[in-house]
Amino acid sequence: MKQKLQLKGALRTYLSWPIILGVFFFLLNIKIFLTNHKAGVIGGIFWIVYSLIACLIYLTGRKRIRRDLVEFAANYRQTQMGLLKELDVPYCILSEEGQLLWGNDRFLEVVVNKKAARRSITNVFPEITSGKLPKEPEDKVIHVQAQERYYRCVLSLLTDSDHEKETEDSILPLNQLMEAGHIISMCMYEETEIINLEKVREAENLVVGLLYIDNYDELIDSIDEVRQSLTIALIDRKVNKYMQGIDAISKKLEKDKFFFAFKQSQLDGLVNSRFSILEEIRNINLGYDQSATISIGIGVGKGTYMERYEWARAAIDLALGRGGDQAVVKNGDKEQFFGGKRVQIERNTRVKARVKAHVLKELIEGKERVVVMGHSIGDTDSFGASVGIYRIAKTLNRKAYVVLDKMNSSVTPIRERFNSKEYEPDMIIDGEEAKEIVDESTLLVIVDVNRGSYTECPELIDQAQSVVVIDHHRQAGDAITKAVLFYIEPYASSASEMVAEISQYIGNGLRLHPAEADAMYAGIMIDTNYFSNKTGVRTFEAMAYLRRNGADAVRVRKAFREDIEEYKVKAAAIQDTELYLEAYAIAESFAQGVESPTVLAAKIANSLLDINGVKASFVLTKYNGKVHISARSIDELNVQVMMERLGGGGHINVAGAQLKDISVGDAKNLIKETIDNMITEGEA
């Protein structure tokens, strides 16, 4: 305590001035004495008297000065404490663990439940978790909400150096508060008005939308001329009425295209109704087998009007690329999907395939070599489509390579047929070899996948200057964007079917070799589950083309016979299948002793659909640290929409997903929860 009451610093220097002057007078008196002895003696007498009086005052008044200074400091601290306590800005002191130690009146008004705050500030402000508390001297800013008010919280860590400065500038008794460790100060600045104004401004933002009639030409061609105008009038009336309901400005750009704009405040209503206009247009019934469908693309966000329009165009392209009959809301890099629950309408016309074939031919002829790549862990469809593109390139006298690293066991018997002398030894290469080949003179063709991260070697996409994408899966938000040719047909059964169609329009005497025809035939057969899923007229036309080129159905069927051990695993999984809600089959397939666990899981999922009353099947496999889900349905549940919610994708009847850091049991519960949510939302 004595050490804390010692005078020091500028105050000690100020109170020492009499002694300093005494020393100065002493030196002055010596000079006078040397000049005049009598004057020096008289000065010395006065110096002695001065020194005695100065010392007496300094010694006798020291305690009184200390007492007055302590009293002043206490009053000063109390004044500051009062000002801080009554400060209109909420302010508090937290422990290092986030427990409330002290708060001013304004803070306690905001908190209300002080006991909960003393346990942890997270109980009052969930946004302030233990991981967000400052561990370093740098301030942290966290935005929180208390009831209907919004605050910007600035949290500062008070360290031991702040404790040492307490006697100079501290307001609170830090030495007492910091006995258990560091403490954190938190100051809250209200920003309710700013956020409310931002919400009002955001609600008034312009949202840009595009609406296309997916099958306008097919619809008009399927009805007689008398009723064509009536059909279009009904569609226009539905669209215009819907636009009036959201106070939108709409303009018909072409016979099958609409542009519209509305306030962002109306968007929540559209999302909550899941764009009911999709169902209204689909339900227009004029007594014909074919119904109309529409696609909607909406651009929303904080960008410029032109950026929102570009987002709307990207959204409508994404909706059409996913098969139509759905709405896509695009906010910058984020997308939301609605609809797309029905089977896509198959186009009977081959005009698009012929146009794409001619463009692909020109691109191949403009390059020196072609590199074909499918998705990672290639399957039969990916490999079949790859060898189809390989044959097109060879027919056009271009060097061609197929990138294949890992593949599932189903590809092995098909792959072995390309080890013959009929094919170059370097026909099939791995990703590292492909990186050395791909340059500005190379055309990179990607088949059976449209997401860059899912390809066999994603680095090739950035390395190549010309990219072609051919796929039958619905587009996702992170689809490849740099492709010069983008051919997506969600209604197609497989990528092999699409390549078979393209091959027929290449010309130059193209003819597939038997091994290539078998590979493409196998790709279609597996992706359609032996021609029971997504099989249309054009599928069988492609099969007929492959048969004419030497495909042998018996030879392909023999290549896909199952191993006895895999058959036992399949039987065990089916035996232990759980029937959730009497309609959803959920099973686990064990990966031990199985060469391709994911392929076997897909086979089990297909088999479970043969059970009476089953709407969809889900088979889970723990493999390579992930839980792989194979989802299948016939026509009563859109498993593609369901798997998208779990981060996966696929087709309406065939889809899948991969879950990280989760057990099989938790994954089953997640599937059940997703089914319950879809039933509640009317999606299942």
pLDDT at 61 over 90: no
pLDDT at 44 over 80: yes
Q: Are 602 and 560 in contact (CB under 8 A)?
A: no
More confident residue, 191 or 320: 191
Q: Work out the pLDDT band at 669, boundaries 50, 70, 90.
A: very high
Average pLDDT score over residue span 426-453: 91
Neighbours of 62 (CB within 10 A): 12
Q: Are 321 and 314 in contact (CB under 8 A)?
A: no
Supply the pLDDT for residue 81.
64
pLDDT at 80 over 80: no
pLDDT at 551 over 60: yes
Average pLDDT score over residue span 140-166: 77
pLDDT digits (tens, 9 = 90+) for 365-418: 999 999 999 988 888 999 999 999 999 999 999 999 999 987 777 788 899 889
Supply the pLDDT for residue 154.
92
Instruction: Lowest mean pLDDT of 18-27, 260-269, 312-321, 673-682, name the range.
Output: 18-27
Supply the pLDDT for residue 341.
60
Q: Work out the pLDDT band at 174, boundaries 50, 70, 90.
A: very low
Supply the pLDDT for residue 3.
43
Characterize 534-548 residue by residue with b for buried, 16 or more Cβ atoms within 10 angstroms of its Cβ, and e for exposed: bbbebbeebbebbee
Average pLDDT score over residue span 514-525: 93
Supply the pLDDT for residue 655.
87
Q: Work out the pLDDT band at 478, boundaries 50, 70, 90.
A: low
pLDDT digits (tens, 9 = 90+) for 594-620: 777 888 888 899 889 989 989 999 999
Supply the pLDDT for residue 347.
56
Supply the pLDDT for residue 2.
41
More confident residue, 6 or 262: 262
pLDDT at 169 over 80: no
Q: Work out the pLDDT band at 288, boundaries 50, 70, 90.
A: low
Helix axes 37-85, 17-35, angle to 10 degrees: 170
pLDDT at 319 over 80: yes
Supply the pLDDT for residue 63.
64
According to the per-residue pLDDT averaged within each range, which of 337-346, 570-579, 592-601 is highest? 570-579
pLDDT digits (tens, 9 = 90+) for 615-668: 999 999 998 888 999 999 887 788 888 888 888 877 778 888 989 889 999 999
pLDDT digits (tens, 9 = 90+) for 81-101: 666 677 778 888 888 888 888
**What does each C-alpha distance from 8 to 3, 12, 13, 60, 66 come to in angstroms?**
10, 5, 7, 18, 11
Distance (Å, rounded) from C-alpha 345 to C-alpha 290?
9
Distance (Å, rounded) from C-alpha 173 to C-alpha 157?
16
Q: Work out the pLDDT band at 180, boundaries 50, 70, 90.
A: very low
Distance (Å, rounded) from C-alpha 643 to C-alpha 429?
32
Token pair, residue 391, equals 């044959």
**Strands lying side by side in the sheet with 442-447:** 428-429, 399-403, 369-373, 442-447, 466-471, 485-488
Supply the pLDDT for residue 77.
61
More confident residue, 309 or 87: 309
Supply the pLDDT for residue 166.
44
Instruction: Lowest mean pLDDT of 82-96, 421-435, 484-498, 542-556, name the range.
Output: 82-96
Q: Work out the pLDDT band at 168, boundaries 50, 70, 90.
A: very low
Q: Work out the pLDDT band at 10, boundaries 50, 70, 90.
A: low
pLDDT at 467 over 90: yes
pLDDT at 251 over 90: yes
Neighbours of 247 (CB within 10 A): 10
Instruction: Lowest mean pLDDT of 283-287, 456-460, 468-472, 481-485, name the range.
Output: 283-287
Q: What is the mean pLDDT of the chain?
A: 84
pLDDT at 317 over 90: no
Average pLDDT score over residue span 542-550: 93
Q: Work out the pLDDT band at 569, boundaries 50, 70, 90.
A: confident
Supply the pLDDT for residue 342.
56
Supply the pLDDT for residue 513.
93
What secondary structure does DSSP assign to 289-355, as a single string? S----EEEEEE-SSS-HHHHHHHHHHHHHHHHHTTSSEEEEEETTEEEEEE--SPPPPP---HHHHH
Supply the pLDDT for residue 170.
43
Characterize 475-502 residue by residue with b for buried, 16 or more Cβ atoms within 10 angstroms of its Cβ, and e for exposed: bbbebbeebebbbbbbbbbbbbbbbbbb
Instruction: Lowest mean pLDDT of 44-58, 160-174, 195-209, 590-604, name the range.
Output: 160-174
Supply the pLDDT for residue 302.
81
Distance (Å, rounded) from C-alpha 652 to C-alpha 8?
82
More confident residue, 251 or 71: 251
Q: Work out the pLDDT band at 14, boundaries 50, 70, 90.
A: low
Residue 524 CB contacts under 8 Å (≥ 6 apart), including other chains: 381, 384, 493, 494, 496, 497, 500, 539, 542, 543, 546
Supply the pLDDT for residue 1.
39
Instruction: Lowest mean pLDDT of 82-91, 138-147, 198-207, 456-465, name the range.
Output: 82-91
